[in-house]
């Protein structure tokens, strides 16, 4: 084949592989959470997910490793605002194919959070931990006497051996130092919910009118994952903090599922003209009172019912659905507590929104190293990624976009030393939405 024919073939192949989606090279979402909650958008999202599922090819996981779907930042039986239990979490982990749960009990002295499930049961590994002082902590042993220690001492106690500590809720502490930490949350589900006040208000309004409530209930039955995910945004504030930290430090990025199974919304009758709206964990007096003067449909909801009756009940966040919404895939040699801890320490993990498509088999490597590794810089060093579903991808370093493309594989060259990470986005419901965030390869 002549050089020109070869060149033409290369251009043609590149054009197919690097096809921009929706003309959007800029990796931005298009719809607001409220827009995504409409029937037409939810149906479009579900159809896209089914199409992506058909396009998925099984790709083998790196030899010697397994891809464990894990949940970090998980609450059960640990506060009055938590609705779920550990047995429920176990059953739902099995439903969602989750194989590791790092609990994060709200700190409630004198109770020791290490006195919780620490076992492998029915294929699911539980590791106790706590959400405390702005961190998720997973020490190897009880730390009760040292929980108030000055910060540097506290961090070194937690991280002794294979102990882990991640900075949590980055939006509340953007300037917090990262030295000594295992890593940080790079996505937090609760932050998305907090930002979407309009969506919450619209749900409350819909629940106080019989026809709207029936429609919402039907949407929840037909499009459960799509509805829960409608609030998901690109976590820019989290990623900026991470990208600036990894310039000098090794920091493992994890997803904060922050599940409590408490988004079960209720409408309760006070009298024929008045109802309370709130969640299953709210006391009656803390619920929002809504009257028929504002929402005349309330009279039809209360007709034939008695005070105290639950008129509408919608369960948005059972654990299995939260788990599918976002999780941390941990690449470990086995499912032991030590191996999962070690893998997270080393950055052998990536974050993904699994409801959009199963990313198992994703890999990111270079010559002489892979995700989480430090490798020496040299000119021409090549970085490679593979995706089981062809995706719009980009390679970033220090927040700068180094390369973009489309397809089941990425090949790119480093521009110089730095922490390089990959994002993959999928076209879902007429827009590009973030699907997967790798941990970095550190080129030093
Ligand atoms: Zn909580
Ligand atoms: Zn939490």
What average pLDDT does range 205-229 have in this prediction? 97
Q: What is the mean pLDDT of the chain?
A: 93
What average pLDDT does range 243-256 have in this prediction? 98
Nearest ligand by distance to the CA of 134: 2
Q: Cα(82) to centroid of ligand 1, in Å?
A: 6
Which pLDDT does position 198 carry in this prediction? 85
Q: How confident is the model at residue 200 (pLDDT cuts 50, 70, 90)?
A: confident
Q: Cα(106) to centroid of ligand 1, in Å?
A: 7
Which pLDDT does position 207 carry in this prediction? 96
pLDDT one-digit tens code per residue, 357-378: 999 999 999 999 999 999 999 9
Report whether pLDDT(36) > 90.
yes
Which pLDDT does position 201 carry in this prediction? 86
Q: Cα(162) to centroid of ligand 1, in Å?
A: 25
Q: Cα(104) to centroid of ligand 1, in Å?
A: 9
193 and 231 in contact (C-beta within 8 Å)?
yes
The proportion of the chain whose per-residue pLDDT surpasses 70, expressed as a percent, equals: 94
Q: Cα(259) to centroid of ligand 2, in Å?
A: 7
The proportion of the chain whose per-residue pLDDT surpasses 90, expressed as a percent, equals: 91
What average pLDDT does range 236-249 have in this prediction? 97
Nearest ligand by distance to the CA of 73: 2
Boundaries of every domain in the chain:
33-196+231-262+318-443, 198-220+264-315
Q: Cα(48) to centroid of ligand 2, in Å?
A: 31
Report whether pLDDT(20) > 50.
no
Report whether pLDDT(17) > 50.
no
pLDDT one-digit tens code per residue, 160-176: 999 999 999 999 999 99
Q: Cα(354) to centroid of ligand 2, in Å?
A: 20
Q: Cα(401) to centroid of ligand 1, in Å?
A: 35
Which pLDDT does position 395 carry in this prediction? 98
Q: Cα(318) to centroid of ligand 1, in Å?
A: 15
The larger pLDDT score, comparing residue 70 to residue 11, is at: 70
Report whether pLDDT(315) > 50.
yes
pLDDT one-digit tens code per residue, 131-145: 999 999 999 999 999
Q: Cα(163) to centroid of ligand 2, in Å?
A: 19
| Cβ-based neighbour number of residue 271 at 10 Å | 12
Nearest ligand by distance to the CA of 104: 2
- Report which listed range, 2-16, 139-153, 191-205, is most confident: 139-153
Q: Cα(131) to centroid of ligand 2, in Å?
A: 6
Q: Cα(300) to centroid of ligand 2, in Å?
A: 38
Q: Cα(133) to centroid of ligand 1, in Å?
A: 13
Q: Cα(262) to centroid of ligand 2, in Å?
A: 12
Lowest mean pLDDT among 4-8, 77-81, 118-122, 424-428: 4-8
Nearest ligand by distance to the CA of 190: 2
Nearest ligand by distance to the CA of 262: 1
Which pLDDT does position 197 carry in this prediction? 85
Q: What is the 3-state secondary structure (H, E, C) of the chain?
A: CCHHHHHHHHHHHHHHHCCCCCCCCCCCCCCCHHHHCCHHHHHHHHHHHHHHHHHCCCCCCCCCCEEEEEEEEECCCCCCCCCCCHHHHHHHHHHHCCCEEEECEECCCCCCCCCCCCEEECCEEEECCEEECCEEEECCCCCHHHCCCCHHHHHHHHCCCCCEEEECCHHHCCCCCCCCCCEEEEEEHHHHHHHCHHHHHHHHHHHCCHHHHHHHHHHHHHCHHHHHHCCCCCCHHHHHHHHHHCCCCCCEEEEEEEECCCCEEEEEEEECCEEEEEECCCCHHHCEEEECCCCCCHHHHHCCCCCCCEEEEEECCCHHHHHHHCEEEEEECCCCHHHHHHHHHHCCEEEECHHHCCCCCCEEEECCEECCCEECCCCCCEEEEEEEEEEEEEEEECCEEEEEEEEEEEEEECCCCEEEEEEEEEEECCEEEEEEEECCEEEC
Which pLDDT does position 320 carry in this prediction? 98
Token readout for 122 is 């029915």
Report whether pLDDT(152) > 70.
yes
Nearest ligand by distance to the CA of 78: 1
Report whether pLDDT(19) > 70.
no
Q: Cα(104) to centroid of ligand 2, in Å?
A: 7
Which pLDDT does position 25 carry in this prediction? 55
Q: What CATH architecture applies to the domain 33-196+231-262+318-443?
A: Alpha-Beta Barrel (3.20)
What average pLDDT does range 60-88 have in this prediction? 97
Q: Cα(102) to centroid of ligand 1, in Å?
A: 15
Q: How confident is the model at residue 151 (pLDDT cuts 50, 70, 90)?
A: very high
Q: Cα(193) to centroid of ligand 1, in Å?
A: 13
Model confidence, pTM? 0.93
């Amino acid at each position: 084949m002549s050089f020109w024919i070869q060149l033409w073939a290369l251009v043609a192949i590149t054009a197919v592989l690097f096809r921009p989606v929706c003309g959007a090279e800029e990796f931005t979402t298009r719809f607001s959470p409220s827009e995504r909650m409409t029937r037409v958008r939810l149906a479009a999202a579900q159809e896209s997910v089914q199409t992506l599922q058909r396009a998925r090819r099984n790709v083998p996981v790196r030899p010697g490793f397994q891809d464990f779907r894990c949940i970090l930042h998980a609450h059960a039986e640990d506060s009055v605002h938590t609705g779920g239990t550990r047995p429920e979490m176990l059953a739902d982990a099995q439903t969602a194919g989750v194989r590791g749960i790092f609990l994060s009990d709200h700190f409630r002295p004198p109770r020791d959070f290490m006195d919780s499930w620490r076992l492998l049961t029915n294929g699911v590994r539980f590791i106790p931990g706590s959400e405390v002082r702005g961190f998720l902590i997973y020490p190897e042993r009880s730390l009760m006497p040292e929980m108030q220690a000055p910060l540097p001492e506290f961090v070194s106690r937690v991280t002794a051996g294979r102990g882990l500590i991640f900075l949590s809720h980055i939006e509340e502490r953007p300037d917090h130092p990262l030295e000594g930490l295992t890593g940080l949350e790079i996505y937090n589900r609760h932050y998305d919910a907090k930002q979407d006040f309009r969506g919450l208000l619209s749900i409350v309004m819909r629940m106080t009118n019989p026809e709207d409530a029936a429609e919402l209930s039907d949407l929840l039955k037909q499009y459960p994952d799509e509805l829960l995910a409608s609030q998901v945004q690109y976590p820019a504030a989290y990623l900026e903090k991470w990208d600036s930290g990894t310039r000098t430090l090794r920091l493992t990025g994890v997803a904060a599922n922050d599940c409590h199974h408490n988004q079960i919304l209720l409408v309760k009758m006070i009298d024929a003209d008045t109802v309370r709206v709130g969640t299953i964990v709210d006391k009656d007096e803390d619920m929002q009172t809504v009257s028929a003067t504002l929402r005349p449909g309330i009279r039809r909801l209360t007709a034939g019912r008695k005070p105290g009756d639950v008129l509408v009940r919608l369960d948005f966040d059972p654990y299995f659905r939260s788990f599918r919404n976002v999780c941390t895939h941990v690449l470990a040699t086995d499912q032991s507590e030590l191996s999962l801890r070690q893998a997270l320490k080393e950055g052998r993990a990536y974050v993904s929104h699994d409801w959009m498509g199963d990313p198992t088999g994703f890999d990111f490597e270079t010559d002489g190293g892979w995700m989480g590794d430090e490798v020496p810089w040299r000119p021409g060093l090549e970085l490679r990624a593979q995706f089981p579903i062809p995706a719009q991808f980009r390679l970033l370093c220090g927040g700068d976009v180094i390369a973009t493309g489309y397809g089941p594989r990425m090949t790119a060259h480093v521009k110089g030393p730095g922490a390089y990470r990959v994002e993959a986005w999928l076209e879902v419901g007429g827009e590009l939405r973030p699907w997967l965030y790798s941990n970095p390869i550190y080129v030093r």
